[in-house]
C-alpha cells in the first residue's frame, strides 16, 4: 500500500500522546502529509476518534502542480540553475508552500495543521505569524522567524548531529531535539530539553545556519528572501 505520507508521524509521534496533546492544548504543525496530506489527516482523525478526543485538523493543499504541467511546459519554463528544457517525463511536480496558509489555519482554530510540500522553515514561521501578527511586509521579522525555523528544521542537526567536532558531542544515544523560544521582536533562544544528550554551542548552531543555504545573503523562501550575513549568535551559559 502506497500511503504517500509519513506513517510514523501518526503512529509514533502523535498516537501515543494524543490525549496529552488535547488536554494541554498543544497545537501541532507538520509537513508529514508528503504527497497525500488528506490521507495523513484522515489517519490522525482516526487516532483522535479512537482516543475519544475532539481535535480540529486542517490540511494545507495546493502544492501539487501536475494539472498545470502542459501550461508550464508551453510557457517555456527552464531549469533555474542549468537552463535545461522542461523534462519530457514527469511523475510528480510540487511547489514549496510558505507559512501563510499555516498561520491562516491556526487563525481559524486548527489544533493540528498537516501540509503537503512545504518549505521546512515555514512550519515555524506560520505559528509565529499567527501568534505575533507579523505583516507580509515586515521582512526583517519574517526573515528572523524563517531563521528560527531553519535552525530547528532538521531536528538534532543543530544540537550536535552534524557537528564537525562530533567527538565532543556527549550522549549521542539520547540526543535532544531543539526547542526555540521566539519573541515578537524576532530574536529567539535555542535550547534542548534537560537531561538529554547532544550539544548546543556557537559551532553547532552556526554550522546548521549555513546548511543548504546557497547564497547566505539571498536565501530564497516563499515568504521572504533572507540575508543572513549579519546574524549574531551568543552563547548563554546553561
pLDDT in tens, 29-69: 999 999 999 999 999 999 999 999 999 999 999 999 999 99
pLDDT over 70 at 116, yes or no: yes
Residue 76's pLDDT band (boundaries 50, 70, 90)? Answer: confident
SS (H, E, C) the chain: CCCCCCHHHHHHHHHHHHHHHHHHCCCEEECCCCCCHHHHHHHHHHHHHHCCCCCCEEEECCCECHHHHHHHHHCCCECCCCCCECCCCCCCCECCECCHHHHHHHHCCCCEEEECCECCCHHHHHHHHHHHCCCCCCHHHHHHHHHHHHHHCCHHHHHCCCCCCHHHCCCHHHECCCEEEECCCCCEEEECCCCCECCCCHHHHHHHHCCCCCCCCCEECCCCEECCCCCCCCCCCC
Residue 198's pLDDT band (boundaries 50, 70, 90)? Answer: very high
- State mean pLDDT over 152-181: 96
pTM of the predicted protein model: 0.92
Amino acid at each position: 500500500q502506497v500511503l504517500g505520507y509519513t506513517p510514523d508521524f501518526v503512529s509514533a509521534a502523535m498516537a501515543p500522546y494524543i490525549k496529552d496533546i488535547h488536554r494541554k492544548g498543544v497545537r501541532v504543525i507538520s509537513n508529514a502529509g508528503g504527497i497525500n496530506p488528506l490521507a495523513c489527516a484522515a489517519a490522525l482523525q482516526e487516532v483522535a476518534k479512537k482516543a475519544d478526543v475532539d481535535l480540529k485538523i486542517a490540511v494545507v493543499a495546493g502544492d501539487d502542480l501536475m494539472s498545470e504541467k502542459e501550461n508550464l511546459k508551453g510557457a517555456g519554463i527552464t531549469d533555474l540553475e542549468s537552463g535545461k528544457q522542461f523534462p519530457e517525463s514527469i511523475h510528480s511536480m510540487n511547489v514549496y508552500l510558505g507559512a501563510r496558509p499555516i498561520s491562516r489555519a491556526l487563525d481559524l482554530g486548527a489544533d493540528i495543521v498537516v501540509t503537503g510540500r512545504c518549505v521546512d522553515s515555514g512550519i515555524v514561521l506560520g505559528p509565529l505569524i499567527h501568534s505575533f501578527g507579523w505583516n507580509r511586509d515586515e521582512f526583517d521579522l519574517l526573515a528572523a522567524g524563517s531563521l528560527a525555523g531553519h535552525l530547528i528544521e532538521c531536528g538534532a542537526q543543530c544540537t550536535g548531529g552534524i557537528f564537525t567536532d562530533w567527538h565532543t558531542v556527549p550522549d549521542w544515544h539520547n540526543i535532544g531535539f531543539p526547542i526555540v523560544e521566539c519573541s515578537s521582536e524576532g530574536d529567539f533562544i535555542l535550547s534542548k530539553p534537560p537531561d538529554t544528550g547532544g550539544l548546543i554551542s556557537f559551532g553547532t548552531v552556526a554550522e546548521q545556519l549555513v546548511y543548504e543555504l546557497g547564497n547566505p545573503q539571498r536565501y530564497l523562501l516563499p515568504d521572504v528572501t533572507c540575508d543572513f550575513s549579519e546574524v549574531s549568535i551568543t552563547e548563554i551559559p546553561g
